Amino acid sequence: MASWEHEGGRQRRQLGLALAGFSATSHDAPGSADGSAGKHNRGTCLEHPAPRQVVLVLFPGLHPSGRQTIMPPWPRKSPRAGLKTLHAASQARLAAFRYNPLTTTAMPQSSRPSHPQDDVHRQSLEDPTSFWARQADHLYWHKKPSSTLVQAKTTLEKSGVTHATWSWFPDGQISTCYNCVDRHVVAGHGHHPAIYYDSPVTKTKQTLSYAQLLDEVEVLAGALREEGVKKGDVVLIYMPMIPAALIGILAVSRLGAVHAVVFGGFAPAALAQRIEASRPVVILTASCGIDGAKAPAAYQPLVEEALRLSSHKPLRVVVWQRDEVRWHPISRNIGERNWQSIVKSCRARNIRAACVPVASSDPVYIIHTSGTTGTPKGVRRDAAGHAVGLQLSIKYLFDIHGPGDIIFTASDIGWVVGHSFIAYAPLLAGAATVLYEGKPVGTPDASAFWRVVEEYRVTSMFTAPTALRAIKRDDPDNARLKEIGNRGGLRTLRALFLAGERSEPAIISAYQELLDEYAAPPDEGGSHVIDNWWSTETQRHPPIGIKPGSAGKAMPGFDVRIVDDESNEVPRGTMGNIVLGLPLAPTAFRTLWEDEERFYKGYLKRFGGKWVDTGDAGFIDEEGYVSVMSRNDDVLNVSAHRLSSGMSLSPCNDPQRSD
């Protein structure tokens, strides 16, 4: 949460962290940067449905009604020519920050606690029903829920085990697509940008406004309906980082169907596994993908081999044709369709689809884990909890509120980060998202990310420490960053979020110094590097004073504890298992796709159903900051002492020590 303190007569924004709760996807074990199986190290990039994730962010103010304070927009002027204007805007935004975020209590500026995140977190645990009901009011409901939370017991059919279960907004009906697209057009924001597409290899750039996005989604949804997709069906999406992929995701949601996105370029065997597990009626794919400066990768042989291996055969394979490599031939007799052709036909006949609302507990998507320790798990996300949780995360943690705010998430839509912070969350807020089909280096050089920040006036950037290390390797003196920074190209950047692996303090400190000099200046709140912990099945969220090396404090709605192997809580500062209390917040997934038994065995059984096992080890210090030291299977027992590999290696990351 963001608090404000007076420093030298100036108001300075102070960021804090929060732990993520269980979110969209999970790993059996963290994977490598390329998604390969069998490695038990922590994931090394955001392009993985990363392990135990954490993120830092801000909490802007709310009205006592629970509605968002109307924050004056940031001006879209040149940072060099308009610093006075930017300063005035920052003061206006500061003046609007008058209420304790996420609560209904108005708080005079003079009496605000220095760390209101603690107060908000306490309220979210003491009265979760009221807390999440207020967050749900930010969305459009086709049928408003009459209650917020229902807790019960369920008995597993195979094992006979009875365990706790819960359901958020149980009798509500909602459309995620409507909340991401239609709602903003209806509100008169259709002219604002929704997607900035940037492909440095193909030298393609495209901007889609909300009105244009709605038009594309309506027509594609109509075309998919004609091809047999209906409410509750699964559509598998195997796509590169192009606008058609986001349009496809939204079109599937619009029909009340369920998407299962698979990372474009996955090997046929892995793709076949996911086809069999999700049993899609349609596969949306493309003729090729772009992987950095490499030659375009043809998808046709990969998809055809996967379908040969899979026992399940979809009704249709809809192909987006790219100029770099064509899919040839498109064989209608075996169910293949040309994406552009069926959309053109529907547009000519004015075939469009309206939003189909679904029940709160209906799935909006499935995403499969990496499967490093067995068959990939299909994580199932509830429609309502997913939308409610993301709108809180993006606004009150990432400081992304709507038109004028732009987030650049350097990930892939095949991973949970891409689902949440490329696709859904920015659009739920009515902001703009950068869809980048490139790499941190090599497309063309180490200036790539900073060029994107400058060109699209990015306000928040989300990447992995691995990407920053790659940039540092190719540009050890930060000459590329400084070149862009010296001309004011980074002045819009307010936060740099890191996740996907542990970030050594040296990385955080080095980039914080660069942001202090070149990014948003102090009188506008400054710019901050924010480290994150990411539970493999979690979401990312955070706020308050930053301790490099720590994941931060618990996010609202999540009861984070440290216990020993017998499920007993341990004293502050003691190493143990990181667990979460029940019920999990709406942001969390409640079960696995068609496998409740596996959900219980994987996350509840170890601690007798009392706690959710995150699979990570760490400790909570006296101030409530959580440090994630390692996976549980990376902890050593030495003379009755639990030692983590992360703790053992931490001296190696001390910037004062030489190699």
| pLDDT tens figures, 55-65 | 322 232 232 22
Q: Which two tokens stand for residue 577?
A: 């298992």
What CA–CA distance (Å, rounded) separates 456 from 215? Answer: 23
Report how far residue 174's alpha carbon sits from residue 391's, in angstroms, rounded to the nearest whole number.
14
What is the SS3 string spanning 212-279?
HHHHHHHHHHHHHHHCCCCCCCEEEEEECCCHHHHHHHHHHHHCCCEEEEEECCCCHHHHHHHHHHHC
SS3 call for 422: helix
One-letter-per-residue 3-state SS of 100-162: CCCCCCECCHHHCCCCHHHHHHHHHHHCHHHHHHHHHCCCCCCECCCCCEEEEEEECCCCCCE
Q: Is the peptide bond before 583 cis (omega within 30 degrees of 0)?
A: yes
Question: Identity (one letter) of the amino acid at 5?
Answer: E
What structural domains does the chain harbor?
3-139+364-649 (3.40.50.980), 206-356 (3.40.50.980)
Using CA atoms, how far apart are residues 436 and 617, in angstroms rounded to an integer?
34
In whole angstroms, give the CA distance from residue 256 to residue 339.
Answer: 20
pLDDT at position 411, please?
95
Half-sphere exposure in the Cβ direction for 377 (13 Å, CA): 27
CA atoms within 13 A on the CB side of 411: 32
Q: What is the pLDDT of residue 470?
A: 96
- Token pair 């169907």: residue: 257
Predicted confidence at residue 87, as pLDDT, reads 37
3 state DSSP class of 492:
coil
End-to-end CA distance of the chain: 37
Tokens found for residue 263: 């990372």
What is d(CA 361, CA 143) in angstroms, rounded to the nearest whole number? 13
pTM for this model (two decimals): 0.80
E strands present in 249-387: 258-263, 282-286, 288-289, 297-298, 316-320, 336-338, 358-359, 363-368, 378-382
Three-state DSSP at 309 gives: helix
- Longest CA–CA span in the chain (Å) reads 75
270 contacts 463 by C-beta, under 8 angstroms = no
Strand partners of residue 11: 6
Computed over its alpha carbons, how large is the radius of gyration of the chain? 23
Tokens of 606: 């170890």
3-state secondary structure of 143: strand
The predicted structure's pLDDT at residue 416: 92
Cα–Cα distances (Å) from 184 to 191, 427, 466, in that order, read 10, 9, 35
Other CB atoms within 10 A of residue 350 CB: 9
Interhelix angle 448-456/479-486, rounded to 10 degrees, is 20
Low-confidence spans in the chain with pLDDT less than 70: 1-116, 372-373, 502, 532-546, 548, 633-659
